[in-house]
């Protein structure tokens, strides 16, 4: 026994000697020592991260809509997260639900519907699609709320909830399931009172964004279009609710006409499954999932998303190619994108053209999915993007458009030549037309503000030339009006011809669906303006099919441009235009973002002192445009139906 102990002691002494020799060697080689220490630190950090991010068995994903949810399609940048660390991306929730559906450790989804977040019907449909996919994998889904809105329409919130297995509402809650009335404001008399004289020109009768300035009631074409849009949207909502709740469409129609409902009446009418408080919801859910509170692992969906691999990570060989994803959101204009800290998001044609071009130059990219969420904007900017899409197709790339809440007017202009177009049923699209407006503010300044003007003309005969063409102190002359009308005809002709070519329709077929009329995605599908009903997930599936990727293979999707805002701010400037094309971002974008971020930081200190003078709606936007003397002589913009989604 003593011999064994002696041997162990000798081994310990030998080990210490060897460790001492190693330490001495490392002291003599500091670079090697630093390398080993840093490697050990990295490996340890990785192990800690793996343990920390490990998804436990019996995980129940949670979504709490009392949190701030950013429904924008534009990615939240690292700098935006720094300025607003609590913001949650709507897209990240959709990705988490889809990933959770295929994760054996995830057993259910619980969603609290509450808060001040407002989602469009298209957003809601995409969310419903994700939940339906989760259900299709045999997993339980639960939605609960204190009330389906206490004051105001609860249609949107209930439409979101109806797809879940179980719907619970607090006993004191109400379900405001009622038919919606939308009121349109007309400010013609207001402008007259202010001595503002508008010149409004449109192509054609359904292009009605300016009607609120020049009329005192809805026009007959406007009524026809709006009624058809409302009917289409309501038919989709009623059909989906009837299917989800095992009711007839006739019965759901009756419920819409007889609401709102107290919790007991909602229960009797099979609109909810039980009236429970939040703690009771979780107790009931644990029982239905055959688990307990101690065994269940609750995890917020957005946290789950960060702990797991990206939904469309690199899972296939590069030989099958990459699908590029480009997000475009906001008003279309010339120049570079604006982010939400400097007036955006918006679609700058320079930014979007370079993003498409950088994906086109990448030999590994086989298809480009362009997610568009825009009600329109500049004709020239839209045409620049349309041309770039055509060039990308000629280079061999397949282009798929995924329409968001809106893809209308200028949005449809830039999208119409894609290989395939995918829209949600509630997407507002079409609006194939053009409008322009100019406001004569002379009466406002001189008679209301007592400002006097005098003028000098470079042309002695200035009264007969076009020097007042863009002046806010004059209406169009007859000569100028004729020229404006000629240019409007030119734009309309160009727009409709591009739709005809891109959608492979005759000019007569295009004219039937054009004239400025807005359609829902469901209507547009029947009219051959789009190819498929679905969201971004379905658009990626279409892209896979176009490039020959098997349906059961998860594609490698890369967001373009690849360069992040942070790297743009820290990086060096481009040497030439080819550098810009490769990186996919304009030369001045870093300055734009810097100014926007500085403005944002400043606004955080001053926001409490701001006085909001007008509500955030189309009329106030028009009014602000008038006061700030902002005119656009060639605008492809959607009409007032862009506000429909907010009325649910």
638: left (phi over 0), alpha (psi -120 to 50) or beta: beta
Rounded to an integer, what distance in angstroms lies between the CA atom of residue 606 and that of residue 454? 38
- Please give the backbone phi and psi of residue 516, each rounded to the nearest 5 degrees, phi first: 85, 10
Write b or e for each residue in 302-326: b if 16 or more Cβ atoms lie within 10 A of its Cβ, otherwise e.
Answer: bebbeebeebbeeebeeebbbbbbb
Q: Which of 99, 139, 162, 207 is catalytic?
A: 207
Report H helices in 53-170: 78-83, 90-101, 121-136, 155-161
Give the H/E segment covering residue 536: helix 536-547
Per DSSP bridges, beta strands 518-520 and 428-430 are: antiparallel
Give the H/E segment covering residue 34: helix 30-52
Q: Which of 72, 409, 637, 642 is catalytic?
A: 409
Tokens (6 digits) for 427:
């997407």
Rounded to an integer, what distance in angstroms lies between the CA atom of residue 187 and that of residue 200? 14
Tokens (6 digits) for 569:
């701010």
Count of positions (residues) in the chain = 648
Tokens (6 digits) for 192:
């007259």
Q: What 3-state class would DSSP assign to 423?
A: strand
With CA atoms as reference, report the closest residue to 474 among 508, 520, 513, 441: 441
Rounded to an integer, what distance in angstroms lies between the CA atom of residue 377 and that of residue 238? 33
Tokens (6 digits) for 493:
């002709």
If 0-12 CB within 10 Å is exposed, 13-18 middle and 19+ buried, where does residue 554 land?
middle
409 in catalytic set:
yes
With CA atoms as reference, report the closest residue to 237 among 225, 221, 255: 255
207 in catalytic set:
yes
Residues designated catalytic: 207, 409
């Amino acid at each position: 026994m003593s011999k064994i102990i002696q041997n162990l002691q000798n081994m310990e002494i030998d080990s210490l000697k060897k460790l001492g020799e190693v330490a001495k060697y490392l002291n003599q080689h500091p670079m090697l020592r630093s390398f080993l220490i840093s490697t050990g630190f990295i490996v340890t950090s990785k192990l800690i991260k793996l343990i920390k991010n490990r998804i436990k068995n019996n995980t129940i994903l949670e979504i709490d809509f009392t949190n701030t949810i950013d429904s924008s399609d534009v990615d939240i940048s690292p700098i935006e997260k720094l300025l607003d660390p609590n913001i949650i991306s709507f897209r990240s929730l959709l990705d988490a639900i889809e990933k959770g559906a295929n994760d054996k450790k995830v057993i259910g989804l619980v969603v609290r519907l509450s808060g001040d977040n407002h989602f469009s019907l298209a957003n809601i449909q995409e969310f419903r699609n994700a939940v339906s996919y989760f259900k299709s994998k045999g997993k339980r889904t639960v939605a609960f709320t204190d009330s389906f809105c206490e004051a105001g329409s609860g249609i949107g919130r209930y439409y979101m909830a109806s797809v879940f297995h179980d719907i619970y509402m607090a006993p004191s809650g109400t379900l405001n399931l009622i038919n919606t009335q939308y009121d349109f404001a007309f400010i013609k008399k207001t402008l007259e009172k202010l001595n503002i004289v508008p010149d409004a020109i449109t192509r054609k009768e359904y292009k009605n964004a300016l009607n609120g300035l020049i009329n005192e009631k809805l026009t007959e074409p406007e009524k026809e279009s709006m009624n058809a849009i409302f009917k289409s949207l309501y038919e989709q909502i009623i059909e989906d609710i009837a299917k989800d709740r095992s009711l007839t469409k006739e019965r759901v129609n009756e419920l819409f006409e007889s609401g709102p409902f107290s919790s007991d009446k909602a229960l009797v009418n099979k609109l909810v499954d039980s009236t429970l408080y939040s703690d009771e919801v979780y107790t009931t859910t644990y029982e239905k999932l055959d688990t307990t509170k101690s065994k269940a692992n609750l995890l917020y969906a957005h946290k789950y998303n960060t702990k797991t691999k990206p939904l469309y990570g690199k899972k296939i060989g590069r030989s099958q190619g990459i699908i590029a994803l480009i997000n475009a959101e906001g008003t279309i204009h010339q120049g570079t994108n604006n982010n939400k800290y400097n007036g955006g998001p918006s679609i700058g044609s320079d930014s979007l053209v370079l993003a498409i071009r950088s994906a086109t130059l990448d030999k590994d990219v086989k298809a480009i999915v362009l997610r568009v969420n825009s009600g329109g904007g500049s004709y020239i900017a839209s045409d620049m993007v349309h041309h770039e899409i055509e060039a990308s197709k000629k280079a061999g790339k397949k282009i798929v458009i995924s329409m968001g809440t809106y893809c209308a007017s200028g949005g449809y202009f830039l999208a119409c030549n894609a290989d395939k177009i995918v829209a949600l049923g509630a997407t507002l699209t079409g609006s194939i037309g053009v409008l322009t407006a100019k406001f004569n503010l002379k009466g406002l300044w001189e008679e209301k503000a007592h400002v006097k003007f005098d003028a000098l003309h470079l042309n002695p005969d200035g009264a007969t030339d076009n020097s007042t063409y863009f002046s806010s102190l004059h209406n169009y002359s007859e000569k100028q009006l004729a020229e404006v009308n000629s240019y409007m005809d030119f734009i309309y002709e160009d727009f409709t011809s591009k739709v005809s070519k891109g959608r492979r329709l005759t000019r007569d077929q295009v004219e039937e669906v054009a004239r400025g009329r807005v359609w829902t995605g469901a209507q547009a599908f029947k009219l051959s303006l789009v190819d498929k009903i679905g969201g971004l997930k379905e658009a990626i599936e279409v892209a896979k099919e176009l490039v020959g990727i098997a349906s059961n293979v998860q594609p490698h999707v890369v967001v373009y441009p690849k360069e992040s805002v942070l790297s743009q701010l820290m990086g060096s400037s481009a040497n030439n235009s080819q550098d810009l094309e490769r990186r996919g971002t304009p030369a001045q974008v870093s300055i734009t973002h810097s100014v926007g971020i500085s403005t944002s930081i400043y606004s955080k200190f001053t926001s409490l002192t701001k006085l909001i003078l007008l509500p955030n709606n189309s009329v106030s936007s028009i009014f602000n445009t008038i006061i700030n003397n902002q005119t656009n002589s060639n605008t492809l913009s959607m009409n007032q139906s862009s506000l429909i989604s907010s009325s649910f």
